[in-house]
Structure 1
Amino acid sequence: MVNVTYDASGDLQWYDAATDTNIVYNLGDIAWTLASTALVWIMIPGVGFFYSGLLRRKNALSMIYLSMMTVAVVSFQWFFWGYSLAFSDTASPYIGDLRYFGLKNVLNQPSAGSPRVPAIVFCVFQLMFAAITPMLAIGAVAERGRLGPLLVFVFVWSTIVYDPIACWTWNPNGWSYKLGGLDFAGGTPVHISSGTAALAISLYLGKRRGYGTERLAYKPHNTTYVVLGTVFLWFGWFGFNGGSALSANLRATEACIVTNLAASVGGLTWMFWDYRLERKWSAVGFCSGAISGLVAITPGSGFVGAPASVLFGFMAGTVCNFATQLKFIFKYDDTLDIFASHAIGGVVGNILTGLFAQASIAGADGITSIPGGWLDHNYRQLGIQLADSVSGLSYSFVMTTIILWIMHYIPGLRIRCDEDAEILGIDDAEMGEFAYDYVGIESELLPRHEYDQGASGGGREPRHTGTSSQESDTEKDSQVIPSTAT
């Protein structure tokens, strides 16, 4: 039986027989951390909707599916050995051991993150970070990736890439943690690692069919999905950053304030940069900027004040906006600009954290003590932040590339789909299910003069070609009509 009782204030007490001490867990902190767990969970399908809306409709469902698949795979991986590899208290500076394999003895002992919440609460909270990270990365397979092998890729990548970076960043035994690296909620483990992995995936998969031509000069098929995904992400990010305080205190409140402010400024900044080009107020631009602001503030959210967060948002909205042009300069096909938004945004956040971190903000929880950044005349902090960023970038890129090429030569595990599947759409080719009842892809399946031949594919049923005078206007409108007469 677990040795837990309640004290006079109603807080949970656990008796540690090994040290003959009573450890007190605050129920308010537990409640806030569990609520934050749910908030971060909703971000994962939020990523799916955000990615889905940006694609062509024939690939819309696959991204939403991948978000749910990733939750399931990583939940098992985290139970199996992921938590132990990241947070075992006998870990090396680089990766943990299997002390907590299968979550053995992960229940009532103090957590690696805070003595005010038990390990099991910290475990489920950190699971959500582990789950969203590979989902951010595998958005790079959009429109040209096989879904089956991604089950294996997510499990392996989480084990070999995410868990070691999480260990060296957040585990008290990790080299970056001991060096004094400041990463409140995942600038390097979540955003730099996933964004760099997306670059590696994009380079491995190669360009989509029609890259560089008018064929791929399409606009997002469903801007509502983009906005909906942003809503889920922005909403959940209060738990992502605020919950990382692992306590319902002033530091958590400060993290929520700067998170919202950076997102707001980032969204406006990106939108204004886009307005200068087309003189249009872009919802997609605003959403992209808001995400970049959220990414940048993530490592600094528990260390910087509100004035600094305005700069975080502005710099992220500016730098990430211009970073989207890197794919044209270096000729790689990053379909969803994941590297520009997450890897570059994460580096921006880490650097600004080194400059603007303040001991007074970190100490708002009454526990944390740091030397601060340049504002507190701790000039070495910037070097530490750069070292952590470069380590995350290089490790994620190299290991992701190795994983992809090993899978490439294992029968059945090659991620790149064939050209026929790419033309038909991943939803139809890989799932046989669709985001919508009708997906018009006849323009890619047939030459223009064959439109009236009743081509099928990409929808639940072939296009009706009846000539009855009773055919409704709705049915006519649903057909693809050639733009020129033959």
Structure 2
Amino acid sequence: MAAQGSDSPTTSLPYVPLNSYSTAAPATGGDSLTEDLNVYYQSGDIAFIIICTALVMLMIPGVGFFYSGLARRKSALSLLWLSVMAAAVVSFQWFLWGYSLAFSHNAGRFIGTLDNFGFRNVLGAPSVGSAKIPDLLYAVYQGMFAAITVALAVGAVAERGRMLPCIIYMFIWTTIIYDPIACWTWNPRGWAFIMGGYDFAGGTPVHIASGCAALAYSYMLGKRRGHGTQELNYRPHNVTHIVIGTVFLWVGWFGFNAGSALSANLRAVMAAFVTNLSACVGGITWCLVDYRLERKWSTVGFCSGVIAGLVAITPGSGFVPAWAAVVFGVVGGIACNYATKLKYFLRCDDALDIFAVHGIGGLVGNILTAIFAANYIAHLDGTTQIVGGWLNGNYVQIGYQIADSLSGGAYSFVGTCLILAILDYIGKFLPIFRLRTSEEDEVLGIDDAEIGEFAYDYVELTREVAMPVDEDDVSRRSIPNEGSSVQVNPHEKDFPQNSFPQSFSHAH
């Protein structure tokens, strides 16, 4: 770069043009033994998407921590377990046939083919998402989207759902629900893509689909024991976990939205900026709405607002100008905040408000994208051309957005109900398929009943509190007599009345 005040022109590294890809090349993109398949792509674009893939992966434990903190203590670990299990189950499904069903080059209007079964021929050819990255990289990146979607949805099992049926559900739901929605939204052969719907990073396939699936799962499971009475305490048991989960999600969302540009360009930079701005405004908005009612600056409220802002901006992050992100954050924060009351109207125990934040937040984001989408923002990547939204006088766009949103939501809700109904029906003959745990296990806690491990092992703590000082007495009491059995439930046994801070009693 020229020194300040110098009249010499600014210099830069010379641009090296890429080789043109031949359409006559084999499905794999070529023979890696006889030619260099890297010459068709910029190494910077590949590095950028690899980093974004890792960031999206980071969101999965973020969801687990967020949900774990919102739940009661005795079921906290199960939600962390489900989030990481979702990554494992969906990654295998994606390798087996998920990617092929969503993004095969010869896909139909609704779903793809099995041409890429087992990642067959997924290598160096330009991807269906963008010619700037190869099939293999696009497949890995989109696989993380499928995994985070399932991780969002399975939070609906909180405190009363069994683990094994949920694992089976993950695999089936990704195949029957997520893959078709992803195909029609992002595959150039999909009906919503051809119609002209704008969904940059997953308003419908990720958020509306997961939110409606969570609503359906909540209905199929039924209400938690004590729901609607003083017996069930709704207070989150660990706000620190909620903050940690929010931070993971917030950071990961940069890879989620900016990476959806599918190359390192100005459109990705704009997506990153509006993502952060909408999150900030959403958090402040939710916090202010809660303060108006409670006169308290709620940490949980701020974190929920951040997530609402992130959800709302997701479909529009690569289409809208920077100032519009403020509108997305405000409207998303208010809409999702009030949507948390819908569960009472719907008579549904959506324990973690997944439908309110993701289902309603995704719908709001899709509608706002129709209003604020601008053609010059989409063209920041140098190639994408769109008509735009209301800012460009394209008023029919809102119809396309609503059609896509309602189709995805209805398909996810009805399909989820059918999947779960079949599993639960099989459970009448094979109890391992039964969706809901027994009342005794629900009282005991899902962590103990289903996993046998705990987020917080209070057994050791109670032993230390109850241990006598005399060493001889310690040895007599700590070692049970031969033939005796000691059974301790770390969540249901009574602790000394004043042994713990007041917050422990509220968390249960």
When the two structures are superposed, what TM-score results if normalisation uses the length of structure 2? 0.85
Task: Give, as a single letter, the amino acid of the residue that structure 2 aligns with 1:139.
Answer: G
Cα distance, 1:457 vs structure 2: 1.0
Structure-2 residue corresponding to 1:433 = 453
Partners of 1:307 and 1:45 in 2: CA distance = 31
1:324 to 340, 353, 365: 340
SS at match of 2:40: strand
Partners of 2:363 and 2:377 in 1: CA distance = 21
Structure-2 residue corresponding to 1:127 = 143
Partners of 2:365 and 2:501 in 1: CA distance = 48
2:194 to 150, 153, 178: 178
Which digits, 9 at most, give the CA deviation of each residue in 1:74-105, with x for residues without a partner? 01000000000000011110000100000000
Give yes or no for the alignment of 1:27 onto 2:43: yes
Structure-2 residue corresponding to 1:109 = 125
2:258 to 242, 250, 261: 242
2:222 to 199, 206, 223: 206
Structure-2 residue corresponding to 1:335 = 351
Which digits, 9 at most, give the CA deviation of each residue in 1:392-426, with x for residues without a partner? 11100100000000001112212111101110000
Partners of 1:358 and 1:391 in 2: CA distance = 24
Structure-1 residue corresponding to 2:282 = 266
Structure-1 residue corresponding to 2:134 = 118
Partners of 1:53 and 1:266 in 2: CA distance = 20
Give yes or no for the alignment of 1:477 onto 2:483: no
Give yes or no for the alignment of 1:297 onto 2:304: no
Give yes or no for the alignment of 1:313 onto 2:313: no
* RMSD, aligned CA: 2.4
- Check conservation: 2:340, 2:353, Cα contact below 8 A: yes
Partners of 1:120 and 1:254 in 2: CA distance = 26
**How do 1:54-453 residues align onto structure 2 when only pairs under 5 Å count?**
54-410=70-426, 411=430, 412-438=432-458
- Check conservation: 1:161, 1:396, Cα contact below 8 A: yes
- Check conservation: 1:424, 1:458, Cα contact below 8 A: no
Cα distance, 1:214 vs structure 2: 1.3
Structure-1 residue corresponding to 2:490 = 458
Partners of 1:139 and 1:382 in 2: CA distance = 31
Cα distance, 1:458 vs structure 2: 3.0
Which digits, 9 at most, give the CA deviation of each residue in 1:26-76, with x for residues without a partner? 111110000000000000010000000001110010011111100000010
Partners of 2:345 and 2:459 in 1: CA distance = 33
Which digits, 9 at most, give the CA deviation of each residue in 1:199-243, with x for residues without a partner? 001111111000011122331110000000000000000000000
Task: Note closer, same or farther for the CA distance 1:223–1:36 as it changes in structure 2 (3 Å cut).
Answer: same
- Check conservation: 1:59, 1:425, Cα contact below 8 A: yes
Partners of 1:342 and 1:439 in 2: CA distance = 37
Higher alpha-carbon Rg: 2
Partners of 2:211 and 2:18 in 1: CA distance = 40
Partners of 2:245 and 2:203 in 1: CA distance = 20
Cα distance, 1:10 vs structure 2: 7.2
Task: Note closer, same or farther for the CA distance 1:433–1:479 as it changes in structure 2 (3 Å cut).
Answer: farther
Percent identity over paired residues: 61
SS at match of 1:94: coil
- Check conservation: 2:459, 2:488, Cα contact below 8 A: no
Partners of 1:12 and 1:270 in 2: CA distance = 47
Partners of 1:17 and 1:133 in 2: CA distance = 34
Which digits, 9 at most, give the CA deviation of each residue in 1:218-269, with x for residues without a partner? 3111000000000000000000000000111100000000000000000000
Task: Give, as a single letter, the amino acid of the residue that structure 2 aligns with 1:317.
Answer: G
- Check conservation: 1:93, 1:168, Cα contact below 8 A: yes
Partners of 1:61 and 1:212 in 2: CA distance = 24
Which digits, 9 at most, give the CA deviation of each residue in 1:146-189, with x for residues without a partner? 01111110000000000000000000100000000000000000
Partners of 2:326 and 2:310 in 1: CA distance = 11
Task: Give, as a single letter, the amino acid of the residue that structure 2 aligns with 1:30.
Answer: I
Task: Give, as a single letter, the amino acid of the residue that structure 1 aligns with 2:344.
Answer: F
Task: Note closer, same or farther for the CA distance 1:14–1:414 as it changes in structure 2 (3 Å cut).
Answer: farther
Question: Which sits farther off after the overlay, 380-389 or 9-18?
Answer: 9-18
Cα distance, 1:18 vs structure 2: 2.1
Structure-1 residue corresponding to 2:32 = none
Partners of 1:198 and 1:11 in 2: CA distance = 47
Task: Give, as a single letter, the amino acid of the residue that structure 2 aligns with 1:477.
Answer: S
Structure 1 residue runs without a partner (length 5+): 1-7, 443-453, 466-474
Structure-1 residue corresponding to 2:24 = 18
Partners of 1:330 and 1:430 in 2: CA distance = 29
Partners of 2:350 and 2:158 in 1: CA distance = 9
Partners of 2:135 and 2:337 in 1: CA distance = 40
Cα distance, 1:476 vs structure 2: 7.2
Q: Which runs of 4+ in 1 moved over 3 A?
A: 8-17, 19-23, 461-465
Task: Note closer, same or farther for the CA distance 1:373–1:438 as it changes in structure 2 (3 Å cut).
Answer: same
Partners of 1:93 and 1:327 in 2: CA distance = 34
SS at match of 1:383: helix
Partners of 1:30 and 1:455 in 2: CA distance = 55
Task: Give, as a single letter, the amino acid of the residue that structure 1 aligns with 2:24.
Answer: A
Partners of 2:250 and 2:202 in 1: CA distance = 16
Partners of 1:222 and 1:464 in 2: CA distance = 19
SS at match of 1:207: coil
Cα distance, 1:290 vs structure 2: 0.5
Task: Give, as a single letter, the amino acid of the residue that structure 1 aligns with 2:142.
Answer: Q
Partners of 1:43 and 1:31 in 2: CA distance = 19
Task: Give, as a single letter, the amino acid of the residue that structure 1 aligns with 2:365.
Answer: G
- Check conservation: 1:11, 1:25, Cα contact below 8 A: no
